[in-house]
Amino acid sequence: MNFTAKNIADFTNGEIIGNPDEVVHDISRIEEGKKGTLAFLANPKYEKYLYNTKASIILVNRELVVNGNIKPTLIRVSNAYNAFTSLLELYAGSLADKTGIEQPCFIDPTAEIGRNVYVGAFAYIGPKAVIGNNVKIYPQSYVGEGTKINDNTILYSGVKIYHNCIIGSNCIIHSGSVIGGDGFGFVQQDDMQQRKIPQLGNVIIEDYVETGSNVTIDRATIGSTIIRKGVKLDNLIQIGHNVEVGENTVIVAQAGIAGSTKVGENCMIGGQAGLAGHIKVGDKVKIGAQSGVTNSIKPGETVLGSPALNASKQVKAMVVYKSLPEMYKRITELEREIALLRKEEK
C-alpha cells in the first residue's frame, strides 16, 4: 500500500518540510533507508544518518535543529517514535485479515465460537471452551477444556493453553508459549521420593497482555496465577504458580519468578533476573539484568546484582570488588611487615 507525505502528515498531525506528494510503500531504518521507504529519527545518536539516508520520507521531532542539507521529505511531529508506532499499526492493519475455519482442525461441539474468528489447520479447541469475537488461533495451537479467550486476542502457531484458563481481550500470545501447565509443586517423603502436589488452580491473563515466544506461565496450586492488564513479557520467561504480576509491568527475556511472589504495577525486570518465591515487589520497582532477588523490595526502589541490593549500595560494592586483587596484595604485604616487626620485638 502506498502513502504520500500528505497522508502521513494528516494522520500524525505533522508539518511537511519538502514534497507533500512524495510516496512511500515500505518502511526502513534510517541508516539503511532506500528510495520509497519511510524512516524516523528519535534518538540524537542517529542524526548523522539524516544527511545521507536514501529514505524518501523521515519522521522527526518538531524541535530537531537541522545542521546540513537534507534530500528526503521531513515530517515534523511532537514525538517521532510514537508517530512511527502509530503508522506501523496502520500498516499492519492494512495487511490481509485472516478469518474462517481451516481444515483439518478439531472444534468440540460444546465449544462456543464468536464472530469473525480464524482457526488454523490442526488447531484443537476443547469441550466448553469459549472463543470471543475476532479471535485468531493459528495452526497447531491447543485450547483446553473450559478455557475462555476474549475478543480480539491472537494465539500464534503452537500456543498451548491448558484447561479452565482465562485470556483477556486484545492479548497476543506468541508461538511456543504454554499457559496453565502444572506448577512445580512436590513434597519430599520419608523415603526421599518426591510426591506431586495436584495443581488445581488456573491462569488468568487480563486485557492487553502480550507474551513473547516460549513463555511458560504455571497454573496455581489453588486459586489463580494472575497476569494483570497491560503486562508485556519478552521471550523465554518462566512464571511460577500463584504468582501475580501487576498492571503494565515489563519483564525482559529469560527472567524467572518463583511461586507465590507478588510483583507490583509499572515494574521493570531486566533479562535473566531471578526472583525467589513468596516475596513481594512493590510498585515502580526496577530490577537490573541478572539480578538475584531473594527478599521483598519496597516501592520505587532500583536493585542490581546477585544478591540484589539497592543500586547505590551495589555500585559501591562493585567498586570495592574490582579493587579486591590490589587490596589482597596490600593486606599480604602488611601481614608480612607485621610478622617481621613481631620477630624483631622478640
Q: What are the DSSP calls for 78-146, one per residue?
A: S-HHHHHHHHHHHHHHHS----EE-SS-EE-TT-EE-TT-EE-TT-EE-TT-EE-TT-EE-TT-EE-TT
Q: What secondary structure letter does DSSP report for 235?
A: S
**What's the pLDDT at 94?**
64
pLDDT tens, residue order, the chain (346 aa): 689 999 999 999 999 999 999 999 999 999 999 999 999 999 989 999 999 999 999 999 999 998 888 999 999 999 999 999 998 887 777 665 789 999 999 999 999 999 999 999 999 999 999 999 999 999 999 999 999 999 999 999 999 999 999 999 999 999 999 999 999 999 999 999 999 999 999 999 999 999 999 999 999 999 999 999 999 999 999 999 999 999 999 999 999 999 999 999 999 999 999 999 999 999 999 999 999 999 999 999 999 999 999 998 888 888 888 888 999 999 999 999 999 998 888 7
What does the pLDDT read at residue 61?
A: 96
What is the predicted pLDDT for the residue at 170? 97
Exposure of 297 in the CB half-sphere (CA atoms within 13 A): 34
Instruction: Determine the pLDDT at residue 96.
Output: 59
- pLDDT, residue 18, reads 95
Q: Given this model, what pLDDT does residue 319 score?
A: 84
Question: Which H helix or E strand runs over 160?
Answer: strand 160-161
Confidence (pLDDT) at 112: 98
Quickly tell me which residue has 496450586 as its cell.
221
Q: What is the dihedral of CA 140, 146, 151, 156, to 10 degrees?
A: -20
Burial of 167 (0-12, 13-18, 19+ CB in 10 A): buried
Coil, helix or strand at residue 44: helix
Does 241 participate in catalysis according to the annotation?
yes
* Rg value, the chain, Cα: 27
Catalytic residue among 25, 163, 241, 278: 241
- The model's pTM: 0.85
Q: What would the grid cell of residue 62 be?
A: 518538531
Model pLDDT, residue 249: 98
